Amino acid sequence: DSGVTQTPKHLITATGQRVTLRCSPRSGDLSVYWYQQSLDQGLQFLIQYYNGEERAKGNILERFSAQQFPDLHSELNLSSLELGDSALYFCASSVVGRGDSTDTQYFGPGTRLTVL
């Protein structure tokens, strides 16, 4: 157990719908990262938040958005869902995530999204 929690574990929805994935980082970690894992694209970085502020963006679609709340949990919102959005969505957290040294990222168990 990494200490990072994600809910829900599984999500099945229809095309065009909107879903929210939730992540709670390890106690004391300030940075949260979202990654998407699909069969053909591997693990892809979506977005990073540090202490409530957006820190970096990767290959995140405009239909996707995220935020980090004052208690440091994060939510990833996916809207106008398409079949191709079906994937495993992982959240990871690290102590800092800025500065001169990159610190270890610990991954949550993931949310498996199926779009029908």
* Contacting positions for other proteins (CB under 8 A): 2, 31, 33, 35, 42-45, 48, 50, 55-56, 58, 90, 92, 94, 97-110
**C-beta closer to other proteins: residue 14 or 101:** 101
Residue 23: name the closest of 54, 49, 56, 43 by CA.
49
Task: Check: CB of residue 77 under 8 Å from CB of residue 64.
Answer: yes
106 forms beta bridges with 93
Strands ordered across the beta sheet of 74-78? 5-7, 19-24, 74-78, 64-68
User: To the nearest whole angstrom, how small is the minimum distance from the Cβ of residue 82 to other proteins?
Assistant: 23
User: To the nearest whole angstrom, how small is the minimum distance from the Cβ of residue 57 to other proteins?
Assistant: 8
User: To the nearest whole angstrom, how small is the minimum distance from the Cβ of residue 16 to other proteins?
Assistant: 27
| C-alpha span between 64 and 75 (Å, rounded) | 11
**C-beta closer to other proteins: residue 62 or 100:** 100
**C-beta closer to other proteins: residue 18 or 96:** 96
